[in-house]
């Protein structure tokens, strides 16, 4: 069994739903982003999804895009330093797990094989690359398998049924279920009516034994509560960043506690 | 050019968010079917001919030929298309495909606004809803095109993210498509993006080279010796070059934008001088201008249509194979080439196309008198009037603008009172 899946299974014994909080590395500065991650881990976050910024984040909406551009504005961020920093964070908070999210190009430039090896060394057990579809990821899959790191595949409400079944079967650490069409966060690019989330999650559950994470558009306690019993991890990104932008760590923490500790 | 499952050598592919998988597959299949459907091809040809004015002429330039004293110079006149550029060939093809797929809305990115206007034109004609993404900086620089897009009924969305230019507009168009894929088609303007876009756009643009084959046979009994095209995203170059790919004696030269100099940020040279590096972004693998950490970088060209960070995977592959020679022209050489064409041949070229002219003019004097070259005049230059006036330091242009402004304001005041 994958390390990540095992971690989720064990933690789920104690909690009806786990939290994965998203933070953009380097935003507003490297130190502040690391402080913010530590704060969330202190508050009991089960996962941090660390986004290494890319200049052209096409699956993200305005909040995260602005943070990525902000992070890249007048500092040069390296993948190596990011891995070292978040590896340390993971050692400081051994009860939680760190997943790395980015777009393909910065990872490709760094070297995919080296990336996976370094992730394993830093105990980063999950890798999320939204612009690397399964079919194009043969090399990455090989490296991941050899190093005990889980590549995280995404499925969406418009993924064809046979493909969904296939990806669900291939999922190891967890399967990332995108809750709706569109990009992350609140934007004018959000999809409209869809088959109900419950039905969609039931369909996915019927195909996989891997844990299920749900993200995109989770902003309120009701959204998190609605996932209990149907998914394992609630992934919260833009809403948390919106709160952080509004009132810093304090406001961000308030939202986190409201969603997961109340 | 047929791809190998979306790849051209090591370039191309389909690197898109999962949410777009179904729409991408739909386009793939619709295009395959349409290509093989005589009714679709007939409608395509009819629209090219009766709406856009194809075939465009192959014009012999006697004065230029005498002036350089070398190769005989011909121009392929894509400037005479409806909308004033080769962009029309592609938007007609894709818009007919949109109708076929039963979608009702098109999304497009645009830099200078040429592709935006072409898309808005065909959308108006075919009754499609149309949203154009354009960098906020480009909206300011290219307002006349924005004006026409709006008059044509398109919604123009200024993109204020990042460098606020074409690259950001393309990202934002992809984001729109991620949410609107069920009823919208992403009508990309060049031979870039995820498969099958490069192949499809190249297919629709290949009418350029097919016509040159016929016209050169008719006019001088053989194929040209050399072909020249400017390379932004690569669509006019693919269009001229690909039909000649198997004609090994025909040489092909692609001309990129050298801009103001070879430092990063001053040019858009992705394929010469080792300036670009392989990367995977915006849906496909190609040579990108990027830093050591894989962040895409800003680019520059006097011609907005060449001011792009990536390049067609087809061109990247053929350049790597040595089938196409790549070179570049600097901003000032481009303005000089534009000026020379105006004076010698009475043709107003787009600044993009003037890169191809500049590249060809460098070689022409040294080529044998009996050799023939064809330069793709991808677009006409009316749109560049402001930039060319500035580059030529025309002294009376500001005066004209001031008078025009004063008159415009007075007109608005009078309207307000009436
Ligand atoms: C007249 C003209 N030529 C060339 C280009 C460059 O595009 P491509 O390289 O796809 O032909 C443009 C793009 O806007 C254009 O308007």
Contact criterion met (CB < 8 Å) for A181 and B283: no
Class of residue A199 by CB neighbours under 10 A (exposed 0-12, middle 13-18, buried 19+): exposed
Residue A74 pLDDT level (bands cut at 50, 70, 90): confident
Which residue, judged by its Cα, is nearest atom 13 of ligand 1? B305
Element (H, E) at B159: strand B155-159
* Residue B349 in contact with ligand 1 by CB distance below 6 A: no
In sequence order, the 6+-apart residues with CB closer than 8 A to the CB of A128 are A49, A99, A100, A101, A102, A152, A154, A176
Instruction: Give yes or no for residue A182 having a pLDDT over 90.
Output: no
Does the CB of A57 have a partner CB in chain B at under 8 Å?
yes
The protein residue whose alpha carbon is closest to atom 10 in ligand 1 is: B235
Ligand 1 in contact with B378 (CB < 6 A)? yes
CB A51 within 8 A of CB A24: yes
**DSSP letter (8 states) at residue A190:** B
Scored b (16 or more CB within 10 A) or e, A90-114 reads beebeebbbbbbbbbbbbbbbebee
Contact call for residues B21 and B182 (beta carbons, < 8 A): no
Residues 168-197 of A with CB under 8 A from B: 178, 181-183, 187, 189-191
Q: Do B16 and A61 touch (CB under 8 A)?
A: no
CA angle (B73 as vertex; B72, B78 as ends), nearest 5: 150
**Of residues B308, B356, B366, the one with CA closest to residue B329:** B356
Query: Nearest-CA neighbor of B86 among B198, B199, B218, B237?
Result: B237
Count how many pairs of residues, chain A against chain B, have C-beta atoms within 8 Å: 124
User: Which residues contact residue A36 at a Cβ distance below 8 angstroms, ignoring those fewer than 6 apart?
Assistant: A23, A244, A249, A252
Residue B184 near chain A (CB below 8 Å): no
Nearest CA in chain B to A58: B171
Q: Do A191 and B293 touch (CB under 8 A)?
A: no
Examine the residue annotation and report whether A49 is marked as an active-site residue of this protein.
yes
Q: Which residues contact B285 (CB under 8 A, 6 or more apart)?
A: B10, B11, B12, B13, B15, B278, B279, B313
B19/A182 Cβ within 8 A: yes
Give the pairing of strands B11-12 and B7-8: antiparallel
**From ligand 1's centre to the CA of B378, what distance in Å?**
7
Helix axes A79-92, A30-42, angle to 10 degrees: 30
Question: Strand B277-281 vs strand B284-288: parallel, antiparallel, or unpaired?
Answer: antiparallel
**Chain A interface test: which of B131, B169, B281 (most A C-beta within 10 Å):** B281
> Among partner residues A105, A133, A183, which is closest to B16 by beta-carbon distance?
A133
Q: Given A32, A42, A56, A60, which residue is catalytic? A: A60
Contact status of B292 with chain A (Cβ, < 8 Å): yes
Question: What is the rounded distance in angstroms from the CA atom of residue B389 to the CA atom of residue B400?
Answer: 11
Using a 10 angstrom Cβ sphere, with 0-12 exposed, 13-18 middle and 19 or more buried, the burial of residue A73 is: exposed
Question: Is some CB atom of chain A closer than 8 A to the CB atom of B4?
Answer: no
Using CA atoms in the order B367, B373, B376, B382, what is the torsion angle rounded to 10 degrees? 70
Distance of CA B414 to CAs A38, B401, B409, B410, B418, Å?
63, 20, 9, 6, 6
B160 CB near a chain A CB, below 8 Å?
Answer: no
Name the band, by pLDDT with cuts 50, 70 and 90, for residue A194: very low
Q: What is the pLDDT of residues A109-145, one digit of tens each?
A: 999 999 999 999 999 999 999 999 999 999 999 999 9
What pLDDT score was predicted for residue B418? 67
Q: Which residues of A touch B182 (CB under 8 A)?
A: 158, 181
Instruction: Compute, in angstroms, the gap from residue B79 CA to the centroid of ligand 1.
Output: 11
Using a CB-CB distance cutoff of 8 angstroms, which residues of chain B are in contact with residue A154? 17-18
Domain map of chain B by residue range?
A: 7-50+86-201, 58-84+206-387, 388-417
Query: What's the gap in Å between B230 CA and the centre of ligand 1?
Result: 8
Q: Is B310 helix (H, G, I), strand (E, B) or coil?
A: coil
Of A60, A79, A160, the CB nearest to B22: A160
Least CA distance to B17: which residue of chain A?
Answer: A131
Catalytic residues of B: 61, 86
pLDDT at residue A75 is higher than 50: yes
Query: What is the spatial distance between Cα B104 and Cα B185, in angstroms, rounded to a whole number?
Result: 8
Residue A139 domain boundaries: 3-260
Of A66, A136, A191, nearest to B15 by CB-CB distance is: A136
Cis preceding-peptide flag for A28 (omega within 30 of 0): yes
- Across the interface, of A62, A77, A109, the residue whose CB is closest to B279 is A109
A193 pLDDT tier (thresholds 50, 70, 90): very low
Q: Which CATH architecture has domain B58-84+206-387?
A: 3-Layer(aba) Sandwich (3.40)
Minimal CA separation from B8 to chain A, in Å:
15
Number of domains in chain A: 1
Predicted local distance difference test score (pLDDT) of residue A190: 54
Q: Which residue of A has its CA nearest to B283?
A: A131
Nearest Cα neighbor of B381 from B343, B352, B345 is: B352
For B280-290, how does the pLDDT look when each residue is reduced to its tens digit (9 = 90+)?
A: 999 999 999 99
Confidence of residue A192 (pLDDT cuts 50, 70, 90): very low
- Taking the Cβ of residue B182 and every Cβ of chain A, the question of whether any pair is shorter than 8 Å is answered with yes
Q: Chain A within 8 Å of B15 (Cβ-Cβ)?
A: yes
pLDDT reported for residue A120: 98
Interval between CA B62 and ligand 1 midpoint (Å): 26
Residues in A closer than 8 angstroms to B186, CB to CB, are: none
Contacts with A57 from chain B: Cβ below 8 Å: 171
The CA B229 to ligand 1 mean position distance, Å, reads 10
Beta bridge partners of B75: B59, B375
Q: Which atom of ligand 1 sits closest to the CA of residue B201?
A: 10
| CATH number of the domain located at residue range(s) B7-50+86-201 in this protein | 3.40.50.1100
Q: Tokens in use for B406?
A: 């004063």
Smallest CA–CA distance, residue B233 to chain A, in Å, is 17
Check A155 against B18: CB less than 8 A apart. yes
Q: Which residue of A has its CA nearest to B16?
A: A131
DSSP result, A84-114? HHHHHHHHH-TTSEEEEE--HHHHHHH-HHH
d(CA A194, CA B394): 58
The strands making up B284-288's β-sheet, listed across from edge to edge, are: B7-8, B11-12, B284-288, B277-281
The response to whether residue B230 sits with its C-beta less than 6 Å from ligand 1 reads: yes
Of A109, A110, A158, the CB nearest to B19: A158
Spans of chain B below 50 pLDDT: none
| pLDDT for residue A186 | 66
- What is the ipTM score, two decimals? 0.94
Question: Is any Cβ of chain A less than 8 angstroms from the Cβ of B279?
Answer: yes
Most A CBs within 10 A among B169, B174, B175, B291, hence the mutation to make, goes to: B175
Contacts of A132 in chain B (CB under 8 A): 15
* Residue B134 neighbours by CB under 8 Å, 6+ apart: B109, B110, B111, B113, B116, B142, B146, B156, B157, B158, B159, B169
Alpha-carbon distance A195 to A202, whole Å?
Answer: 11
CATH number of the domain at A222, please: 3.20.20.70
């Amino acid at each position: 069994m994958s390390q990540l899946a095992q971690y989720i299974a064990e933690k789920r014994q104690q909690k009806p739903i786990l939290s994965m909080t998203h933070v953009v590395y380097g935003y507003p500065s490297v130190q502040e982003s690391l402080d913010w991650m530590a704060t969330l881990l202190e508050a009991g976050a089960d996962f941090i999804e660390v986004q290494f910024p890319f200049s052209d984040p096409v699956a993200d909406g305005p909040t995260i895009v602005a943070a990525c551009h902000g992070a890249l504005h007048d500092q040069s961020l390296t993948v190596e330093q990011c891995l070292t920093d978040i590896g340390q964070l993971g050692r400081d908070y051994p009860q939680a797990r760190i997943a790395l999210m980015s777009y393909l190009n910065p990872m490709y430039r760094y070297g995919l094989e080296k990336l996976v090896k370094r992730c394993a060394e830093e105990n980063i057990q999950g890798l999320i690359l939204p612009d690397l579809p399964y079919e194009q990821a043969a090399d990455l899959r090989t490296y991941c398998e050899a190093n005990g790191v889980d590549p995280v595949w995404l499925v969406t409400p418009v993924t064809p049924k046979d493909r969904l079944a296939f990806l669900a079967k291939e999922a190891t650490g967890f399967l990332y279920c995108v809750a709706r069409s569109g990009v992350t966060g609140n934007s004018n690019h959000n999809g409209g009516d869809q088959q109900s989330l419950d039905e969609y999650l039931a369909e996915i559950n019927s195909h996989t034994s891997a844990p299920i994470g749900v993200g995109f558009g989770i902003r309120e306690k009701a959204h998190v509560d609605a996932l209990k019993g149907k998914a394992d991890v609630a992934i919260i990104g833009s809403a948390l960043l919106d709160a952080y932008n509004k009132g810093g760590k304090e406001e961000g923490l308030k939202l986190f506690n409201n969603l997961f500790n109340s | 050019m047929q791809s190998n499952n979306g790849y051209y050598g090591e370039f191309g592919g389909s690197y898109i968010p999962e949410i777009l998988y179904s729409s991408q597959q739909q386009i793939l299949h619709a295009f395959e079917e349409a290509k093989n459907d005589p009714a679709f091809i007939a409608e395509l040809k009819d629209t090219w001919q009766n709406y856009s004015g194809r075939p465009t002429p192959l014009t012999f330039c006697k004065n230029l030929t005498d002036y350089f004293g070398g190769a005989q110079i011909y121009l392929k006149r894509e400037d005479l298309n409806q909308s004033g550029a080769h962009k029309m060939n592609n938007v007609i093809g894709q818009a007919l495909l949109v109708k076929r797929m039963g979608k009702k809305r098109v999304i497009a990115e645009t830099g200078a606004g040429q592709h935006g206007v072409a898309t808005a034109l065909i959308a108006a004609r075919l009754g499609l809803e149309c949203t154009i993404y354009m960098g906020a900086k480009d909206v300011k620089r290219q307002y006349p095109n924005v004006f026409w897009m709006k008059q044509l009924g398109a919604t123009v969305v200024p993109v204020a993210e990042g460098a606020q230019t074409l690259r950001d507009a393309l990202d934002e168009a992809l984001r729109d498509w991620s949410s609107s894929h069920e009823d919208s088609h992403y009508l990309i303007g060049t031979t870039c993006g995820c498969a099958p876009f490069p192949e499809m756009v190249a297919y629709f643009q290949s009418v350029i080279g097919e016509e040159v084959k016929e016209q050169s046979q008719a006019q001088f009994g053989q194929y040209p010796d050399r072909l020249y095209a400017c390379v932004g995203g690569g669509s006019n170059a693919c269009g001229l070059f690909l039909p000649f790919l198997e004609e090994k004696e025909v040489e092909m030269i692609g001309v990129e934008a050298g801009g103001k100099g070879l430092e990063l940020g001053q040019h858009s040279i992705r394929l010469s001088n080792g300036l670009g590096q392989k990367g995977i972004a915006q849906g496909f693998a190609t040579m990108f201008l990027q830093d050591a950490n894989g962040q895409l970088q800003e680019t520059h060209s006097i011609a907005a249509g060449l001011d792009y960070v990536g390049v067609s995977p087809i061109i990247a592959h053929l350049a790597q194979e040595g089938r196409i020679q790549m070179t570049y022209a600097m901003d000032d050489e481009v303005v000089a080439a534009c000026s020379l064409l105006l004076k010698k041949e009475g043709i107003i070229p787009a600044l993009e196309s003037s890169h191809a002219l500049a590249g060809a003019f460098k070689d022409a004097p040294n080529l044998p008198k009996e050799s023939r070259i064809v330069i793709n005049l991808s677009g006409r230059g009316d749109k560049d009037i402001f930039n060319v006036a500035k580059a030529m330091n025309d002294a009376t242009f500001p005066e004209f603008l001031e008078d025009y402004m004063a008159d415009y304001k007075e007109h608005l005041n009078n309207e307000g009172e009436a």
